[in-house]
Amino acid sequence: MPPPKNLPGFYFDPEKNRYFPVKGPIAGSKRPLSSSSSSSDPSSSSRDAPDQKNEVQLTRWKKRIKGSELLLSREIHGGLIFSNKTRCSFRQEYQKVQASRPMVWNYQSTTNVADAAIEQLDGIVQTPSGSRETKLLTTGNMMGAISLFGIGNVLAGIGNVLVDFCYGDEAFIRPIWSPSRNQKAIYDSAIWSTWCTSYPSFTSNISCIRKLGYQFSNSVNASSSYQHALVTTLGSGESGGSLNVLNLSEPLDFRIRACPVETRTSEIACFDRTIWAADCYAYGPQAAVGTNVGSALVNLETAAVSWLNRSKSDVLSLRYVPSGNVVLCGHRNGAIISVDIRQKQSELSAEPSARRPNPHRTAPLLRNDRRSVKRRVQMNGKLNSSSVVYMPSAVCSLVSLQSDEQYFLGSSMDGSIKLFDRRLLQRGAVQSYEGHVNSHTHLQLAVNPSETLLLSGGEDCVVRIWSVKTSELIFAENVANSIFTRVCWPESGEGLPYY
């Protein structure tokens, strides 16, 4: 049989013995590379294509609109403006312009103080003029130390700045990056110094710090929120992880450079397993923890522990939705499970009335304890497709959006960042955010209070900011030649993020 003829625009299928039309490129897609360029080095071209695409996207966004043009459009059209043939809010576009031109400072003598956890809390500090309420940046490191940095409205004309109380451990400022490369402008706008105190007494790595919105009965000042924080330790070969509550309701004296952690923390429960992640319910004494055998709920007042799900894959990331009815669990095998905690859970604590457990006693989270564990969801069994979605690699960060709890952001260790809808998990991601670089690091995501901007650091030492709504890459620069594993955005106003 003679070979089939080559027809322009068609290809021959020998199995079906017929011609089929060759489909053209999708409308709006990027044109393929020429044969000469692609044949020269196909591996490098395929590897550099995503980076080139993100660079082009970032350049186009910077050239698309300027601050003066934005103000002119607001005066003409009001609150709604038209950008790139789409209707958008002036406030959101102005936030994008600000995010695309940040200034970065480095605080010396703070190396490795926040390589494990970072969170902004409320607290009371002792000053020469008396006690004052302020913001405290709480950090934890791999050595088990907690550091508290003072934040507040002290210097006129600067806004939210790190407070200089004229005593304590000072970390001097060093400007490292600005969009205009104008060093004088950086110094004029600089946050000049920060003073901190440390609590270096945990025997294991700090794995998580989460603010507690719930007011405890022994709180000195019940009018201020977020004066307590949940601190979890990873665990070591000698012992497992632990849950602790950090109390900041009593005045903090920065003149004391290092204090025993027992003076500020209370141990809630000990585990004989590794604690990778934790999160707190904003309106009750309840926390969820992710371990190497699954996830569990812990009552912070009674120390009662109940299982959410048992798993052979470590729970590396965990988040409550704003209503507190659902917990999102991200696993090492890439699975993200949406667990409804309103279903009955099995109790693991034998003494629910105890206010504080014996520090030498561990909660029975054993693999072979089948009598006290109700296996509702198993990673090695059949899962409801409406409550689970899979990412390409280990899930390292989850963020539930406060504006609509049906949506959440997830990132994995292959560099993928995606937006999901809990109602449509079986359909996969709603949106993807390109450009992130990760291969094995536990990198964290953060969103601003208005939930319009997404921030993360990459393994290539580049800090990136995306638009949550449009997935546009707004900012991507190597600002410090270091990997920012933990990031935090201030809760009040549109302040600067910390990382």
Summarize pLDDT for 417-437 with one digit per residue, the tens: 999 999 999 889 999 999 999
Beta strands in 153-224 (DSSP E): 161-162, 169-177, 193-200, 206-212
Same domain, 331 and 429: yes
pLDDT at 380 over 90: no
Distance CA 87, CA 34 (A): 36
- Residue 333, burial from CB neighbour count under 10 angstroms (0-12, 13-18, 19+): middle
Q: Which residues contact 16 (CB under 8 A, 6 or more apart)?
A: none
Summarize pLDDT for 249-283 with one digit per residue, the tens: 888 776 665 566 667 888 898 888 999 999 998 88
Percent of the chain topping pLDDT 70? 62
Question: Of the segments 153-157, 170-174, 201-205, which one has the largest average pLDDT value?
Answer: 201-205
Same domain, 195 and 319: no
Which DSSP string corresponds to 360-383?
A: T--B---TT--SS-----BTTS--
Q: Which residues contact 405 (CB under 8 A, 6 or more apart)?
A: 321, 322, 323, 326, 422
pLDDT at 224 over 70: no
Q: Does 249 reside within a domain?
A: yes
Q: Does 20 reside within a domain?
A: no
Same domain, 331 and 461: yes
Summarize pLDDT for 465-495 with one digit per residue, the tens: 999 988 999 999 998 888 999 988 877 655 5
Q: Does 315 reside within a domain?
A: yes
Same domain, 402 and 441: yes
Q: Flag the least confident range among 17-31, 224-238, 446-460.
A: 17-31
Q: Which residues contact 433 (CB under 8 A, 6 or more apart)?
A: 417, 418, 419, 454, 466, 471, 473
Q: To which residue do tokens 């070969």 refer?
A: 237
- Residue 242, burial from CB neighbour count under 10 angstroms (0-12, 13-18, 19+): buried
pLDDT at 58 over 60: no
Q: Does 43 reside within a domain?
A: no
Same domain, 134 and 189: yes
The order of strands in the sheet holding 265-270 is: 206-212, 228-233, 242-247, 265-270
Distance CA 381, CA 31 (A): 44
Q: To which residue do tokens 């279903």 refer?
A: 343
Higher per-residue pLDDT: 50 or 396: 396
Q: Does 32 reside within a domain?
A: no
Please list the alpha-helical segments (H only) found in 111-241.
183-188
DSSP code at position 41: -
pLDDT band at 215 (very low <50, low <70, confident <90, very high): low
Residue among 220, 243, 234, 244 nearest 122 (CA): 220
Residue where one domain finishes, among candidates 265, 294, 328: 265
Domain count, the chain: 3
Same domain, 325 and 441: yes
pLDDT given for residue 192 in this prediction: 43
pLDDT given for residue 254 in this prediction: 66
CA distances from 293 to 272, 306, 314, 372 (A): 11, 13, 6, 14
Amino acid at 242: S
Higher per-residue pLDDT: 357 or 145: 145
pLDDT given for residue 294 in this prediction: 92
Which helix (DSSP H) or strand (DSSP E) does residue 94 occupy?
helix 90-99
C-alpha angle with apex 437: 440 to 108, nearest 5 degrees? 85
Percent of the chain topping pLDDT 90? 29
pLDDT at 19 over 80: no
pLDDT given for residue 444 in this prediction: 94
Tokens encoding 390: 């899979």
Q: Does 419 reside within a domain?
A: yes
Residues in the chain: 499
Distance CA 381, CA 359 (A): 35
Same domain, 334 and 434: yes
Same domain, 251 and 399: no
Q: To which residue do tokens 């082009």 refer?
A: 56
Q: Does 399 reside within a domain?
A: yes
Q: Does 141 reside within a domain?
A: yes
Q: What is the torsional sign of CA 395, 400, 401, 407? A: positive
Distance CA 228, CA 218 (A): 11
Tokens encoding 487: 């990031």
Average pLDDT on 46-58 reads: 53
CA distances from 45 to 32, 34, 35, 42 (A): 11, 11, 12, 5
Same domain, 194 and 95: no
Average pLDDT on 278-305 reads: 91
CA distances from 369 to 234, 345, 349, 372, 420 (A): 22, 15, 13, 6, 35
Average pLDDT on 307-329 reads: 92
DSSP code at position 32: P
Which helix (DSSP H) or strand (DSSP E) does residue 62 occupy?
helix 42-64
| Average pLDDT taken over every residue of the chain | 73
pLDDT band at 121 (very low <50, low <70, confident <90, very high): confident
Distance CA 391, CA 256 (A): 46
Distance CA 318, CA 339 (A): 11
Same domain, 326 and 454: yes
Q: To which residue do tokens 């955010």 refer?
A: 433
pLDDT band at 90 (very low <50, low <70, confident <90, very high): confident
CB atoms within 10 A of CB 234: 19
pLDDT given for residue 46 in this prediction: 41
Q: To which residue do tokens 């053209």 refer?
A: 24
Residue where one domain finishes, among candidates 100, 123, 154: 100
Higher per-residue pLDDT: 42 or 417: 417
pLDDT given for residue 160 in this prediction: 37
pLDDT given for residue 122 in this prediction: 83
pLDDT given for residue 145 in this prediction: 85
The order of strands in the sheet holding 431-432 is: 395-400, 407-412, 417-421, 431-432
Q: Flag the least confident range among 81-90, 97-106, 125-134, 178-187.
A: 178-187
Domain span including residue 463: 311-342+382-492
Question: Of the segments 121-135, 257-271, 290-304, which one has the largest average pLDDT value?
Answer: 290-304
pLDDT band at 343 (very low <50, low <70, confident <90, very high): confident
Instruction: Specify the CATH number for the domain of residue 413.
Output: 2.130.10.10
Residue where one domain finishes, among candidates 100, 125, 154: 100
CB 232 within 8 A of CB 268: no
Interaxial angle between packed helices 90-99 and 67-77, expressed in degrees from 0 to 180 and rounded to the nearest 10: 170
pLDDT given for residue 94 in this prediction: 78
Same domain, 202 and 121: yes
Higher per-residue pLDDT: 401 or 251: 401
Same domain, 337 and 473: yes
At residue 83, what are phi and psi to the nearest 5 degrees?
Answer: -135, 125
Residue among 434, 466, 431, 456 nearest 100 (CA): 466
pLDDT given for residue 295 in this prediction: 93
Higher per-residue pLDDT: 477 or 45: 477
